[in-house]
Amino acid sequence: MNADPAGHHRSVIVVGGGQAGLSMSYCLTARGIDHIVLEREQVAHEWRNRRWDSFCLVTPNWQCQLPGFGYRGADPHGFMVRDEIVRYLQDYVASFDPPLVEGVAVRRLRRTSSWAFEVVTSQGVMTADQVVVATGPYQVPVIPRIAERLSPAIKQLHSSEYRSPSQLPPGPVLVVGSGQSGSQIAEDLHLAGREVHLAVGTAPRVARFYRGRDVVAWLEDMGYYRKNINEFDDADAVRFRVNHYVTGRDGGRDIDLRAFAKQGMRLHGRLVNCGHDELNFSDDLARNLDAADAVSESIKDTVDAYIARTGIDAPAQERYQPVWLPESGPSTLRADEIGSVVWATGFGADYRWIEEPVFDGRGYPTHQRGVTACPGLYFLGLPWQYTWGSGRFCGVGADAEHLAIVIAQQRIAHRSFDVRWISGTPTSTYPDDDHWVIPRTVA
């Protein structure tokens, strides 16, 4: 869609044209609700431009279940690589032709009354009754300030900028961070024959296969991915947990950092200080490796209990035994021993363009399954927005469907108030009162 959105009013504006925004559009389209999707770049931009060349999903293809468009390829138990993911999203757009405008950045969002929002874009100003923010949580690459102390001779880049080993200058590479991106980039460099140092953090790991099946399949059968955030006693902590590291590369396998160390990769604890001459690492390497293994083994315990409880015939499997043990104590690395650093230190969110007070002290949107305290303002695609799959291909559709129901109900409530006020028999505070809130029957 190439129409100029400036000056147009929509019932709903969806900000973001990734899997979350497209899922929202599908559910609104199914209900005949007028809307537009504004995408700053182009569909699948994040997958196309912020992933390395060998990137692939860590969850099986059968979990790709966007609304009305489940995985249709020939390898449901495989793992789509970067270009296949891009095509999947492009094919999704073609399947229902959403009202999508690419190349439009949203620069400001504010509520002008209880029933209207002003959306300032790079192509002009729009208005809407309701707005869905589907920009995702991974917007601003985070690099710690200690990076500024490194010698200018060392090339530095964030994991979102890494593409392949050939991109980096000759010499050893330090990867900082052992979450999904850090561990996979370290593997990518290691397999290319590069000398790799990895600063290992507290990310947990999980086995790829156990007792004859992908662990994801066991967890799916056990209902893990449908467990909602309200079932956890520490919901806030759950939302900010680091993902387990594993890979779908070459058909899927474990990422065993101990095995990498045995093959020559240098493992360190967390990076705690660096300067022009030296980098210092904490003495927590052994503790971090043990904790990651413990999480993986606890998941196997859960699978074993499920198999025993249900009587499933599954082959027995020996448990993991560490193949390498680190030396105790902190470690040090001379700055002239490395030629480059990849900071796999995550992302932050940037919601400065939203002028509504719907954020907590950390800048996280406060919501109930995407519904905020600001009438008509919603979020979609956040990690653990409601379930583990909320920010992923497997669960974002359920959240989009939920919000579509809420949006439809708000539209009905809005029209009802207009009729009652015009008839001269208002039954509640007039909607222009900023303190007026529609009772939400779905939250």
Encode pLDDT of 61-74 as tens digits: 999 999 999 999 99
Give yes or no for a contact between 286 and 325, defined as CB atoms under 8 angstroms apart. yes
Q: What percent of the chain has pLDDT over 90?
A: 84
**pLDDT score of 412:** 86
pLDDT at residue 198 tops 70: yes
Note whether 396 and 390 are within 8 A (CB).
yes
Query: The whole model's pTM is what?
Result: 0.91
How many Å is the Cα radius of gyration of the chain? 24
If DSSP codes are grouped into helix, strand and coil, which group holds residue 28? helix
pLDDT reading at 441 higher than 90: no
Amino acid at 241: R
Q: What is the separation of C-alpha 418 from the centre of its chain, rounded to a whole number of angstroms?
A: 39
Mean pLDDT to the nearest integer, 229-241: 87
**What integer is the mean pLDDT of 18-31?**
98
Is the pLDDT reported for residue 311 higher than 80?
Answer: yes
pLDDT for 276 equals 84
> What is the CATH number assigned to the segment(s) 143-346?
3.50.50.60
Please, are residues 48 and 167 in contact by the beta-carbon 8 Å criterion?
no
Q: At a CB cut-off of 8 Å and minimum separation 6, what does 283 contact?
A: 269, 328, 329, 330, 331
| Per-residue pLDDT, 435 | 26
Residue 139 banded pLDDT, cuts 50, 70, 90:
confident
Average pLDDT, the chain: 91
Count of other CB atoms within 10 angstroms of residue 80: 23
pLDDT band at 416 (very low <50, low <70, confident <90, very high): low
pLDDT of residue 2 exceeding 50 = no
Alpha carbon distance, N-terminus to C-terminus of the chain: 33
Question: For strand 347-348 and strand 140-141, is the pairing parallel, antiparallel, or unpaired?
Answer: antiparallel
Residues spanned by CATH 3.50.50.60 within the chain? 9-139+349-422, 143-346
* H or E stretch covering 422: helix 396-422
pLDDT tens-place string over residues 91-112: 999 999 999 999 999 999 999 9
**Which of 1 and 52 is assigned the larger pLDDT?**
52
- Among 110-114, 126-130, 231-235, 416-420, the range with the most confident prediction by mean pLDDT is 126-130
pLDDT 10s digits, 319-352: 999 999 999 999 999 999 999 999 999 999 999 9
* CATH architecture of residue range(s) 9-139+349-422: 3-Layer(bba) Sandwich (3.50)
Q: How many helices (H) and strands (E) does the chain have?
A: 9, 21
